[in-house]
Structure 1
Amino acid sequence: MPDRREAWITGIGLVSSLGEGVDAHYEALASGAGPKVDETRFAPYPVHPMAPLDLDKQIPKRGDQRQMEPWQRYGTYTAGLALESAGIKGNTEILSRTHMIVAAGGGERDNSVDIKILDGLRTAGNKGQFLNERLMGDLRPTLFLAQLSNLLAGNISIVHGVVGSSRTFMGEEASGVDAVRIALSRLHGGTGDIFLVGGAFNAEREDMLLLFELGGALMHGAYAPVWERAAGGGGLALGSMAAFLVLEEKAHAEARAAKPFARLASVQSGRSRRNAGDVAAAVTSHLDALGPLDPASSAILSGAVGAETATSEERAALAGRGLPVRATASLIGAGIESQFPVNIALAAIALSKGKLFAPFGADAIEAPFAGPLKQVAVTSVGHWRGEAAALVEAVD
């Protein structure tokens, strides 16, 4: 559609194990310095821990900080960075009509309370009565409410004053895909001029590691880059991260002299089974739907997280396309709900700099690339579901 409204990315907030903000991530990825991985704290599971954050910079009230779980702090903090990056932080007129779409998990557990309750149940005479008493007496109302996924959007509204419409998606990697896809669709369709979209994930949680281990999804032992995990059976190295994007209609951005990092042109998604060949077919279909990419000025940021056989199938689908590939999870880990927004942010950062990140690992698919960067295809292949691809382009 030649008259379709254009979606600019005018603000980026990003935190991960590599640091905070646009420049920190570009420098870490462009230098080829490698990941920051903790292999001992949660052994045998390697985890990419969150970089130190000065929460006071974006969440000034300590009371607000205390009532949030870590993943909510990461998301609220990063939303503030995105609004600041876009130049609209504190602008009540724009924030009053800024729509918010969030990808979120189900909240965090209080491990110490859980352990006490489970221990007590072993010897309790009336187990039902004991459980009710403990749940009533041991769980603070704020703790209970912190389990609700839509509190991330609520906290962003409270702390930063983003009070347009709000929508929260759950559903692991697919929720991040849908958050970005629907924000773009609404912007293209004219039901909003400016959106705050993103998600957050805290990997440093024993309950989350248990959840993924019970599903057989985690890698064990020494860390390895994503493409090199198949020989050991594959698996995820979870990573704490958060990303929020300010997605803005071109004319709206130009009217306030906002400069774009990049343009979000398209998001393709679908539901793929995991029979042999299904992931490869889905990746191929989604990339084909984005249109042709010029090998002289294009690259792929892969959302592969190491899950097998999905990662091997994605690699096979990407290898024949003649484009350099970067598997970002090798550097920052698997961020589940936040994975797709994080990768869109990283693509926009690379395009704003005009240069692709350095290769990482020994796999030939991560070919060197020195040419000017004009287009980046971002894939998503969730550990179980969440296949998608997006096209992010440079703005001349």
Structure 2
Amino acid sequence: MTATETRPRPDETRIERAFGNAFRRVTGTAFAPYQSAVLRIGFAATWLFFLLREWPYRHELYGPHGPWSGDMARRLLDGNEAFSVLTWTDNRGWFELVYGLAVVASALLLVGWRTRTMSVLFMVGVLSLQNRSIFIGDGGDNVLHLMAIYLVLTRCGQVWSLDARRAAKRAGSSGGGPERDGTGVVLWATLGLFLAVAQILGLSGLAWFGSGPFPNVGWGLTFWVLWLSHGVWWAVRRYAPGEPRTVLDMISKLIHNGALLVIVVEVCLIYATAGWYKIQGSRWQDGTAVYYPMHLDYFSPWPELSRVLADNGLMIMLITYGTVIVQVAFPFTLFNRRLKNVLLVAMIGEHLSIAFLLGLPFFSLAMITADAVFLPTVFLVWLGARVTSVRDRVLPRRTAVRE
């Protein structure tokens, strides 16, 4: 074999170099830290505000007094193998505890305290309440349902969180050394103990659960894997800060980037399918899909304004065809930054108008939050700086001056 035959072809070298660079990038950088922080804040705020607004009616919506009884929910979950801790028992105290913990988890995820743990508890709260009463929602609940699962796999506390603030303070005071984190250990041990007790009592049939706390092996295995992963991550950071930590950090960044890609694809699919279904429907072709909701009392918080808009044929045509064009075109504009930003502003304006005119604030807030994954980083950094400056003016920090 000659030297010419053993030398790699230039095309193969360029391809291998490109793959190597791409692999190093996706495993060495957690993409879109500001966008993922907006997703965390937006979805946590959406769910928190919804739970607080529905607090007086929580028993009729998700509790034992609702029209969708606990037996009906259990039969449905047995068939689709979904998950809800509210189906474990119809006890009112258990419902109040779960609802209260869902509120607390949403608030703590919003501010970014123990983000990894709170994202799991946030997901449990969302799935438990929504799967308990599947007919409660306005479309935004489906988006929140999916995003609550995806957020567990992201590193959404890198910026704009108490975790990031604590990490920066620790890095400045101790040079970034290992953190003891007694609070995290206690929280991890408590959740592990609860998970073990629920699993043992459920499988043995000694407590609430008739056929186990989880509908199948998948959910139980998922929670145990998440619990063990958090423990391994803490142990490696504390006792093995060298190569093991580097490997785990690469894996977590790869998972984060993959989850963000799934979120981007999910949002594109939502708009693409919605737009193409609208094109095929006659009610969107003749404008009645926009005209009639504005005449329904249920969707008219401002009836006079809705009536003025509905009686304007030109306005109905612009809203109808503008909505269809924006939704169909958006996935095709992702590679053109300027055009994408223009359509992004149009979609956010569309959702704001839905919240204001049709009285669907939580649906609109969930969709605007999903759209935020496409916001430019420069704009988010600028927005964060403006919010910080306003906060510092309203709540000036007290600095101790020693003479």
Whichever of the two has the greater Rg, that structure is 2
Q: Same fold (TM over 0.5)?
A: no
Greater length-normalized contact order (CA 8 Å, ≥ 6 residues apart)? 1
- Name the structure with the higher helix share: 2
- Name the structure with the higher strand share: 1
User: What's the TM-score bracket when you normalise by the shorter of the two chains?
Assistant: under 0.3
| TM-score, scaled to structure 1 | 0.22
| TM-score, scaled to structure 2 | 0.22
